[in-house]
Chains A and B, each alone.
Chain A
Amino acid sequence: DSGVTQTPKHLITATGQRVTLRCSPRSGDLSVYWYQQSLDQGLQFLIQYYNGEERAKGNILERFSAQQFPDLHSELNLSSLELGDSALYFCASSVGGMGNQPQHFGDGTRLSIL
């Protein structure tokens, strides 16, 4: 058990819809990272937050947004969903804000777009 909690575990929705994925980091970790993993793209870094503020941005689409709340949990919002957004979405956390910190991953949210 990594200590990182992601909800929901599975999500099925239709094209054009909007969903919110939630992540609770390990106790004491201030950084949260979001990743997308699909069969054809592998594991792609989306965005990082550190203590409530955006720290680094990867290949995150404009239709996607994220935030980290004062209690350090984070949400990833995906809107105007397309079939290609079907993927596993992982959240990870680390103690500090530097990108080199070992990260602890949750078990992911599997998003299926019908």
Chain B
Amino acid sequence: LAKTTQPISMDSYEGQEVNITCSHNNIATNDYITWYQQFPSQGPRFIIQGYKTKVTNEVASLFIPADRKSSTLSLPRVSLSDTAVYYCLVGDTDQGGKLIFGQGTELSVKP
């Protein structure tokens, strides 16, 4: 199983860049890495997905090294509204598509 490990919490200040790293040592060849954001009492919201190297969209970047055993979500210039829990997700196709969420990183952005 492609188990993931993330820091439990992180603190930052408005305007800073935040990097959250996820470890997934047993990632399978066909697995993609996906990050979600969750606010209290809401469902997770898709942020970004990648397979290797770097992916960038309008809200974040995702860096994946060549061995794919980890990934880093980068949030540029965070604001107070970015305070949320961030989940790293690795699809485990070896187990028939069983999905494993990481424990989540609680990001707190302070003024």
Contact = CB atoms under 8 A, between A and B. Distances in A.
Contacts of B91: 98-100
A43 B42 CA distance: 12
Interface residues of A, number: 27
B98 interface: yes
Given A92-B44, A98-B97, A107-B43, 10 more contacts: A33-B99, A90-B44, A98-B91, A99-B92, A99-B99, A100-B49, A103-B44, A105-B44, A107-B41, A110-B41
A102 interface: yes
Contact of A2 (B41, B43, B49, B104): B43
Interface of B: 30-32, 34, 41-46, 49, 87, 91-93, 95-101, 103-104
A64 interface: no
B34 A100 contact: yes
B100 A45 contact: yes
Given A100-B34, A105-B45, A107-B43, A57 B103 contact: no
B43 A105 contact: yes
Given A58-B98, A92-B43, A42 B93 contact: no
A25 interface: no
Best-buried of A45, A57, A99, A102 by chain B (most CB within 10 Å): A99
A102 B43 contact: no
A102 B97 contact: no
Contact of A45 (B30, B43, B98): B98
A99 B32 CA distance: 9
A45 B44 contact: no
B72 to A, nearest CB: 19
Given A57-B96, A108-B43, A42 B101 contact: yes
Contacts of B93: 98-100
A42 B103 contact: yes
B27 to A, nearest CB: 11
Interface string A70-114: 000000000000000000101010000111101111111010000
A53 B64 CA distance: 34
